[in-house]
Amino acid sequence: MTPAPIAVALDAPDLETAARWASLVTPHVSTVKVGLELYLRYGPDVIASVQGASGVKVFLDLKLHDIPNTVAGATRAVARLRPAILTVHASGGPAMIQAAVEAAPHTEIAAVTVLTSLSAADLAAIGVGGSPEDAVRRLAVMSVEAGAKALVCSPREVAGVRAAVGPGITLITPGVRPAGADSQDQARVATPEQALADGADLLVIGRPITGSADPGATAASIAASLRRS
Ligand SMILES: O=c1ccn([C@@H]2O[C@H](COP(=O)(O)O)[C@@H](O)[C@H]2O)c(=O)[nH]1
């Protein structure tokens, strides 16, 4: 069976736990995601540890955000690990995004528009006017014009982003929660089925899977629900 378009966020405190989660979920999902917690603790070795022999795609979610020259250097440094996807913050601007794209020709650079943990009130508090939808759309269009081939947004905005950027761009949505699940620190959420129906290409799901009693069974069940939807 084809693995579901899900990236399981391996936000684990140690490598053994992350590798165990990865081996449990990889029969069911296309991708595993390594974020700051694991990468800052273990560095580049973490990629091989979570990939194992499975050949699952690795999404390196480092959300780089600095001046273009620094981001280009950081991107080159991790591009040699050949992650399938690497994130940068869209708010770093077009020159920074372009620098990342040029530094990693074999990795899809995904621009994070507005973190899914931010509400409209949070955006106002950091001086971003307008709705999250408007901010996401504006950053999405700018990022694609700068060369990004992938974008990160919440499932709430994915339909609007798809309409704005067209079919050729990979849309990645964290902030995914099965019906009835706790949204925890995520502010803009939707169900896996809704995210897919609205045009997402890859759903990022962490704690609803890794925090469950049986991560392999939970991943299999969400994957099956996507096939039925
Ligand atoms: O806007 C963003 C960008 C990245 N993330 C990351 O996705 C996962 C979500 O984990 P859950 O446990 O399903 O909430 C996590 O690794 C974040 O760093 C995001 O949530 N929002």
What is the pLDDT averaged over residues 120-140? 96
What is the pLDDT averaged over residues 105-109? 98
Give the closest residue (by CA) to ligand 1 atom 1: 115
The residues that are catalytic are: 63
| Mutation test residue for ligand 1: of 11, 33, 172, the one with most atoms within 8 Å of CB | 11
Q: Is residue 110 within 8 Å of 170, Cβ to Cβ?
A: yes
| d(CA 1, ligand 1 centre) in Å | 26
Residue 53: is its pLDDT beyond 80? Answer: no
What does the pLDDT read at residue 229? 84
Residue 18: is its pLDDT beyond 90? Answer: yes
Taking the CA atoms of residue 219, residue 224, residue 226 and residue 228 in that order, the dihedral angle to the nearest 10 degrees is -170
Q: Is there an atom of ligand 1 within 6 Å of 152 CB? A: yes
What is the pLDDT averaged over residues 43-56? 91
Burial class (CB in 10 A: 0-12, 13-18, 19+), 48: exposed
Alpha carbon 135 to its chain centroid, in Å, reads 18
Give the closest residue (by CA) to ligand 1 atom 3: 115
Q: Annotation-wise, does 40 bind a ligand? A: no
| d(CA 207, ligand 1 centre) in Å | 9
Q: How confident is the model at residue 161 (pLDDT cuts 50, 70, 90)?
A: very high
Q: What percent of the chain has pLDDT over 90?
A: 96
Containing H/E element for 151? strand 150-152
Q: Is there an atom of ligand 1 within 6 Å of 110 CB? A: no
Distances in whole angstroms, Cα of residue 20 to Cα of each of 59, 61, 123: 17, 19, 37
Q: What is the mean pLDDT of the chain?
A: 97
What pLDDT, in 10s, does the model give residues 90-103? 999 999 999 999 99
What is the pLDDT averaged over residues 200-207? 98
| d(CA 10, ligand 1 centre) in Å | 10
What pLDDT, in 10s, does the model give residues 138-158? 999 999 999 999 999 999 999
What does the pLDDT read at residue 108? 98
Cα(183)–Cα(116) distance, rounded to whole angstroms? 11
Q: Is there an atom of ligand 1 within 6 Å of 22 CB? A: no
What does the pLDDT read at residue 110? 99
Distances in whole angstroms, Cα of residue 220 to Cα of each of 8, 26, 180, 210: 12, 10, 18, 12
Q: How confident is the model at residue 214 (pLDDT cuts 50, 70, 90)?
A: very high
Closest CA to 115 of 179, 169, 61: 61
Q: Is residue 4 within 8 Å of 26, Cβ to Cβ?
A: no
Closest CA to 137 of 163, 117, 116: 163
What ipTM describes this predicted complex? 0.99
Q: Annotation-wise, does 57 bind a ligand? A: no
Q: Is there an atom of ligand 1 within 6 Å of 11 CB? A: yes
What does the pLDDT read at residue 172? 99
What does the pLDDT read at residue 1? 82
| Mutation test residue for ligand 1: of 113, 116, 153, the one with most atoms within 8 Å of CB | 116
What does the pLDDT read at residue 21? 97
Integer-rounded Cα radius of gyration of the chain? 17
What does the pLDDT read at residue 28? 97
